[in-house]
Structure 1
Amino acid sequence: MATDQDQRKGLSEEELQDLVSSSDAGARNPVGSVGLFLSIVAITWSVFQVVLASPLSNQILPGSVVNNSRQIHLAFAIFLAFMAYPAFKSSPRDYIPIPDWIMGFAGVFIALYGYFFYDKIVNSGGLADDIDKWFALAGLALLFEGARRALGPAMAIIAVIFLFYVFYGSSTIVPDVIRWGGASLKKAMSHMWITSEGVFGIALGVSTKFVFLFVLFGALLDKAGAGNYFIKMAFGALGHLKGGPAKAAVVGSAATGLISGSSIANVVTTGTFTIPLMKRVGFSSEKAGAVEVASSVNGQIMPPVMGAAAFLMVEYVGISYVEVITHAFLPATISYIALVYIVHLEAVKNNMPTLGNRVVSMGRTIGGMAAFFVGFAALCYGVQYPVRAISSALPNSGLILSALVFLTYVALLWVASGVADLEADDPNAKEVELPVVGEIYKAGLYYLLPIIVLVYFLMIEQKSPGLSAFWATMLLFVILLTQRPLKSVFRGESALFERFKDGVVDLLQGLVDGARNMIGIGLATATAGVIVGTVTLTGVGQVMADLVEFLSGGNLILMLVMVGLLSLVLGMGLPTTANYIVVSSLMAGVVVQLGAQSGLVVPLIAVHLFVFYFGIMADVTPPVGLASFAAAAVSGGDAIRTGFVAFFYSLRTVALPFVFIFNTDLLLIDVGWAQGILVFISASIAILVFTAGTMGWFVTKSRIYESVLLILIAFVLFRPDFFMDRVQPPFADVPPAALTQAIEEAPAGSEMRVVINGPDFDTSELRDTTIVLSIGDEAPADRLATTGLSFFAEGDDLALDEPAFGSPHASALADYDFYGDEFVTVKEVLAPQSQLPKELMFIPALLLLAFVYMLQRGRARRVIPQGEAA
């Protein structure tokens, strides 16, 4: 955290790097033999993870190592945590005290306890004995201390509170609503440490299998020089526009977010260049820092790499990684479009000057950038056809394709050798010469190759994320080792061996950086496993559902607000990944359940993205947002004010989750290509109009009623169904007794809503749940059988038998008591009826937008010269 003096003057480059390292990779960096030893440990961890992700891992590594890879992963993380992170601010940083060595090696042994005593644990059925329980308890204590050092005290405190709840949940001091029977030490330690339900659960498994490779990929790509290339390209494209440095900061941070994986590192990496230039054209210190914070933090929501949370969603939601990033694409894209528009409006409002004397067309710039992204996507998609042709026509196609990729890399490197290597610019120079895209783009085209390989394997081949990152990382190994010597050859230079040594050093340093960047993530996922384990052991998730339902009065919007506030509060002390794990474990099922009771079918992926979006605000939200403090340290502004401005700039990140919960078209769920394009266009217009409404400026300064109208227009564009459903309801009430007939008469491809009422299995209280019956192409007489539901008449009611295990609606109805005194009955049937396209509501919305535009356009012409209007 910067002092007042630091905030006024800004920090030096060395101090900024220390801020990043202390937050992300550990503030301690001993030299000499100890430093060499720790570097070897970090490199060993990286190499182990690469081998583990390779297609030959089962041939290279013993089966016991593969089966216990989570334990090995945690052993590396916990050891390096005690080595890299001092216990206190006053602790030494240039050497490692003896107690830290002891705790580090003890942590390694206990993390590997399940590996050393694997046979004993398997034979006991995963139940801890009197010796196991004490080792497990010591392991939790060491894990919490490592998490405290690497992540701050909040994570450890929350985990300890949950652990106390496991032991003392039956105490009279615990409120009745969350009281439970409690667990013995042996039972709790079996659950938390010995089995895969707690620390070594899904979250740590995802960190082991997927996250490490992506973090390492980013570290290697940055070490290769891609970060500086992306920043220069962004400034070359946008730097000369009005508010250009801020627009370049947004685009550059989006690209750098692919590399760093850390919002704090992103702020410092791009901010040291962008923030001074933003201040130079008129942004205040706080606004310049806030733009960088909002841009950097949003890097975590941008596919195809979304940090650890995306991989956790794959496991928690049960869908493929491709589906996750498909659903996340549109909200992330329009969020960045809005951020570019925010800084444009700030520049227009304050009539900021441009940098340099080059005249640049906004239309040509936008068109050029759009053409680049479309071309890049088309390249990633189109490369599948020659690849498949080669694979089907030639034997050993893998070797041939690898050779073709290498030859492409050599060709692009030859092109790059024809221009000067890119050097970092000085933003404080008296005369700022912004780069020209046409002159510098050749210098780093080969950096796109690993990204193309990653996207190709993820999206086209649909390989696992771990295997996709493995092949992209292998290409980066080649690039780091060969780019310097090959450039020397192409340029006719000598000192070939020295350039190769430089490449080896870059590779080794990238391996070290990747491992150090993973320490916090590894400990966060392990510690969060204690919270997840508490939920599964105690059943507190159902209690939380009852509590939230009581506090919200069953109102879904109020409940979503409460979930968002919980994420923000926890985000003040937890990193994004840990925050997401905790809140989604507690609340995701609750939102789906209460949504069903309210008649709204909420897809589980929508809830997880909702939690994730609020979780990324962890690094923004005052008073603790670390990214805001990092930006203030660069800008010399006030950290708290920077955080509040960044939060204001991030309002669209707060609003979007509420929108896509109620309009899942934004997540491209069950949306075809034509409708998807329409959704993208309408959502882009909506987010721009919402931004104009909240910023108080459209063509000129908005009056209050104009801002209200703009926000209303945005709402109509985001939720056209809200108004169309009131003009022409999409469903008609059908008597429950006529359900079978309604199913037979419903058109194929439609959906029918059925409200089920019955006694809760635990409380015996009556409650409602809405299920969706999808009408297929079967013969009308066979449709009811495909639903897996069986009905029978009970007096005037239509009662429901318990669905068979594994049938489509068995899980949704699992909490009902089908064998009690009260029957589970059909309360309401909503059959689909014809409705005009909801998109017709766009017409009055756009007409109203045109009306506001004309009002402001006329006023702008009277106030300022026509050429200066936005």
Structure 2
Amino acid sequence: MSVPGDTFEKASLATGLAIAAIGLLNALPSFGVLPQIGPFPIDWFRPTFIGLSVLTAVLLVIPDLPVSKPAGWLHITLLIVCLPMIAYAGYGYFDVSRKMATSIFFFSVSEAITATIAAAVTVYLCWHLWGSTIAALGSIAFAYLATGQYWPSGLATAPHDMVETIAANIWYATDQGILGNIMGIVLSTVLPFIILGSVLDGCGAGRSMIRISFRLMRRLKGGPAYAAISASALFGTVSGGAVANVVGTGVVTIPMIKRRGFSPNFAGAVEAAASTGGQILPPIMGAAALVMADLIGVNYLTVITAAIIPAIAYYASLFLAVYFQAGKIKLKTCQDDAADLEVAPQDYINLILVVLPLALIVWLLINGYSPAGASISALLVLLPASYLNPEIRQRPLRLVRALAEGGRSIAKLAIAIAVVGIVVASFSATGVPTKFAVLLSSASEVSLFFALLVSAIGCVVLGMGMPTLPAYIAIVVVMGPTLTKFGMDLLTVHFLVFFVGVASVITPPVALASYAAAAIAGGRPIATSIISSKIGAMIFLIPFAFVFHPELLIVVSAGDESVFWLSLLFLAATLYLCSSSLIGYDRAALGGVERALRLAAAALLISPVASANWAGLFLGTALVGWHVLRLRSKVIENAKGA
């Protein structure tokens, strides 16, 4: 007898709600006379949290398995076995933590087996939830940690006690491994923001943003595409996840982009590229930005401020790409695209539900509150404010479901973070970052640009198939220490890794956001990912711009203020030249030579050499001027011929 699918749905929502409740209580700051409840003791809270996450993951995965096939029943059996296994490992963590706090403790084979069980459970569930890429990376990292001393020369690690190494690095340490500092940052800082984003989505503000965006952009040639970019930017800064953003907004935006005359591949690519950028757009950004602030040791407001110009530049490049594509396929203006998305007065009222919590977060951060305190304060304001929406007044349980949905999202993220904890612990213990430093040092002998190019390629490869936060952490552990040795500011290094890691979700062959958008648009996945990489190409170039011109991050000192404005001018010119070249159109179609010259000018504009910047500006201006004059002469000739 099979269990109905809605039973699993209700059960996973219940466990998600439990995760949200216990997580918020753990992160809840002190409010006036109310006592501060958390943070809870690590020895029981972290294993309890991962246990609830595993239970939620099992409840989410089982309904999707084919019960009519033997393989389906095998996986169901393994998933059920995961529950007592993680419970056993969790109790082991609690017991050993208490013993270590009171006396000297030496790890035995039993603890190594417990750590291996915990690793196996999280890797297996991660494979079901997030695909094979991150699970394979975790498996290889664990195998390397355990057996690295037996690998061939050049890859071999120093001799070590396998039992001690596995137990200490994978499960029982409070500073690394599955339940280490990274999981702690997620619990204390990231969790409240994910819950806030889920409630913002559930209170009905998301669809209002889409309607208003379409209304404002309806008179432009590429109206729906511009609206998709705007709506995805606003929705993405709340959701913090590219794929979730594509699914949340793409079902509305993509069909309307197609109706305007854009191809399915281009429609999906626009949504994927726009959704990806939501993770770099202040004030909330994605979960990775919160972790970045903790890892660097700076105020979260510093990270938000640094992201302003790169985020604006990225979205400006998307608008330019749509503008040039609309001209290329000769679209006409039309005012009927938003006919089926009429804006009601309630939509403008619903915007209060977005503006109010985001403004409160920024204000509290400026006044010295922690990110967790600011996000929970915003959540406490949003919950009663959401009753401005009559849909919430009619069905207030939607807020409870939104909290539960947020808890389920955290559970899935926690499984991925657990595997990344394995990767980070293994890399740190085996010295992988040092080995990579040797490779980058060799590359830097050619040029810093070549070293950065190698780093960027490595970021994309490591980030393929992984959520942004796990990808960012895995990449920065390997590449961060090496890049700082080149004299780069620590914040600049982390932003480089962050941006290129974000870009991996639209980069073929493993482009999760592009594939999700292609499924909605009815386009080809690989073609959509190639076009989205073309449209969003500036997400790869902008990091080079702020590495060579760190003043673009605002918080990194540039000395003379004129340097900042010149760098901004060069960046703006780069956006225009690069976007027009990649689309192959400006005021008319561009030839191959002209496109190549524009790309060359763009490369000169982001160079660290001042003379090259001016040469790029001169070349770009000359190319655009020649293009305009050539078209004008053609118009005059045609007029004379007529």
Above 0.5 in TM-score? Answer: yes
- The answer on 1:455 being equivalent to 2:362 is yes
User: Cα distance, 1:355 vs. partner?
Assistant: 2.6
Q: What is aligned with 2:398? A: 506
User: Cα distance, 1:698 vs. partner?
Assistant: 2.5
Tell me if the contact between 2:300 and 2:371 (Cα under 8 Å) persists in the aligned partners.
Answer: yes
SS in 1 for 2:508: coil
- The answer on 1:73 being equivalent to 2:76 is no
Judged with a 3 Å threshold, the aligned counterparts in structure 2 of structure 1 residues 715 and 222 are, in CA distance, closer, same or farther, namely same
Q: Which of residues 82, 97, 101 in structure 2 aligns to 1:122?
A: 101
Q: What is aligned with 2:388? A: 483
Where structure 2 has 5 or more consecutive residues not aligned to the other structure, the ranges are 638-642
Q: What is aligned with 1:699? A: 587
Tell me if the contact between 2:15 and 2:55 (Cα under 8 Å) persists in the aligned partners.
Answer: no
SS in 2 for 1:474: helix
Judged with a 3 Å threshold, the aligned counterparts in structure 2 of structure 1 residues 848 and 447 are, in CA distance, closer, same or farther, namely same
Q: What is aligned with 1:403? A: none
1:831-850 maps to which residues of 2 (within 5 A)? 848-850=619-621
Q: What is aligned with 1:345? A: 324
Q: Which of residues 316, 329, 352 in structure 2 aligns to 1:445?
A: 352
Matched residues in 1 for 2:67 and 2:442: separation? 47
Q: What is aligned with 1:567? A: 459
Amino acid of the structure 1 residue aligned with 2:405? D
Amino acid of the structure 1 residue aligned with 2:48? I
Amino acid of the structure 1 residue aligned with 2:303? V
Tell me if the contact between 2:135 and 2:419 (Cα under 8 Å) persists in the aligned partners.
Answer: yes
Tell me if the contact between 1:126 and 1:194 (Cα under 8 Å) persists in the aligned partners.
Answer: no
Q: CA RMSD in A?
A: 3.1
Matched residues in 2 for 1:564 and 1:35: separation? 40
Matched residues in 1 for 2:446 and 2:344: separation? 55
Tell me if the contact between 1:713 and 1:845 (Cα under 8 Å) persists in the aligned partners.
Answer: yes
Moved more, 272-281 or 224-233: 272-281
Amino acid of the structure 2 residue aligned with 1:128? F
Matched residues in 2 for 1:135 and 1:87: separation? 28
Q: What is aligned with 1:722? A: 609
Matched residues in 2 for 1:434 and 1:130: separation? 63
- The answer on 1:194 being equivalent to 2:144 is no
Q: What is aligned with 1:174? A: 152
Tell me if the contact between 1:549 and 1:559 (Cα under 8 Å) persists in the aligned partners.
Answer: yes
Q: Which of residues 70, 76, 84 in structure 1 aligns to 2:60?
A: 84
Amino acid of the structure 2 residue aligned with 1:647? S
- The answer on 1:466 being equivalent to 2:372 is yes
1:384-533 maps to which residues of 2 (within 5 A)? 432=339, 435=342, 441-458=348-365, 460-480=366-386, 482-484=387-389, 487=390, 500=393, 502-503=395-396, 505-533=397-425
Residue-by-residue CA offset, 1:698-748 (whole Å, 9 max, x unaligned): 3322344443443344345444x5034x8xxxxxxxxxxxxxxxxxxxxxx
Judged with a 3 Å threshold, the aligned counterparts in structure 2 of structure 1 residues 63 and 89 are, in CA distance, closer, same or farther, namely closer
Judged with a 3 Å threshold, the aligned counterparts in structure 2 of structure 1 residues 439 and 673 are, in CA distance, closer, same or farther, namely farther
Matched residues in 1 for 2:579 and 2:475: separation? 28
Q: What is aligned with 1:855? A: 626
Tell me if the contact between 2:443 and 2:454 (Cα under 8 Å) persists in the aligned partners.
Answer: no
SS in 2 for 1:306: coil
1:629-778 maps to which residues of 2 (within 5 A)? 629-668=515-554, 669-671=556-558, 675=562, 676=564, 679-719=567-607, 722-724=609-611
User: Cα distance, 1:464 vs. partner?
Assistant: 1.2
When the two structures are superposed, what TM-score results if normalisation uses the length of structure 2? 0.89
Amino acid of the structure 2 residue aligned with 1:591? L
Q: Which of residues 313, 319, 338 in structure 1 aligns to 2:298?
A: 319
- The answer on 1:611 being equivalent to 2:497 is yes
Judged with a 3 Å threshold, the aligned counterparts in structure 2 of structure 1 residues 156 and 230 are, in CA distance, closer, same or farther, namely same
Amino acid of the structure 2 residue aligned with 1:561? L
User: Cα distance, 1:229 vs. partner?
Assistant: 1.3
Matched residues in 2 for 1:35 and 1:435: separation? 33
SS in 1 for 2:557: coil
Residue-by-residue CA offset, 1:61-88 (whole Å, 9 max, x unaligned): 4775466543333222222112212397
Tell me if the contact between 1:76 and 1:108 (Cα under 8 Å) persists in the aligned partners.
Answer: no
Q: Which of residues 516, 530, 543 in structure 1 aligns to 2:435?
A: 543
Residue-by-residue CA offset, 1:643-666 (whole Å, 9 max, x unaligned): 111111121111122222222122
Tell me if the contact between 1:237 and 1:437 (Cα under 8 Å) persists in the aligned partners.
Answer: no
Judged with a 3 Å threshold, the aligned counterparts in structure 2 of structure 1 residues 126 and 705 are, in CA distance, closer, same or farther, namely farther
User: Cα distance, 1:467 vs. partner?
Assistant: 0.8
Q: What is aligned with 2:214? A: 235
Tell me if the contact between 2:229 and 2:315 (Cα under 8 Å) persists in the aligned partners.
Answer: yes
Q: What is aligned with 1:50? A: 24
SS in 1 for 2:454: helix
Q: What is aligned with 2:224? A: 245
Tell me if the contact between 1:64 and 1:115 (Cα under 8 Å) persists in the aligned partners.
Answer: no
User: Cα distance, 1:569 vs. partner?
Assistant: 2.1
- The answer on 1:184 being equivalent to 2:77 is no
| Larger RCO of the pair (alpha carbons < 8 Å, separation 6+) | 2
Q: What is aligned with 2:640? A: none
SS in 2 for 1:86: helix
Judged with a 3 Å threshold, the aligned counterparts in structure 2 of structure 1 residues 142 and 470 are, in CA distance, closer, same or farther, namely same
Amino acid of the structure 2 residue aligned with 1:42? G
User: Cα distance, 1:131 vs. partner?
Assistant: 3.1
User: Cα distance, 1:502 vs. partner?
Assistant: 1.1
Q: Which has the higher helix share?
A: 2
Q: What is aligned with 1:332? A: 311
User: Cα distance, 1:674 vs. partner?
Assistant: 5.1
Amino acid of the structure 1 residue aligned with 2:169? H
Moved more, 81-90 or 305-314: 81-90
Judged with a 3 Å threshold, the aligned counterparts in structure 2 of structure 1 residues 618 and 105 are, in CA distance, closer, same or farther, namely farther
- The answer on 1:283 being equivalent to 2:262 is yes
Matched residues in 1 for 2:4 and 2:298: separation? 41
Q: Equivalent pairs: percent with the same residue?
A: 26
Q: What is aligned with 1:734? A: none
Amino acid of the structure 1 residue aligned with 2:6? V
Tell me if the contact between 1:716 and 1:723 (Cα under 8 Å) persists in the aligned partners.
Answer: no
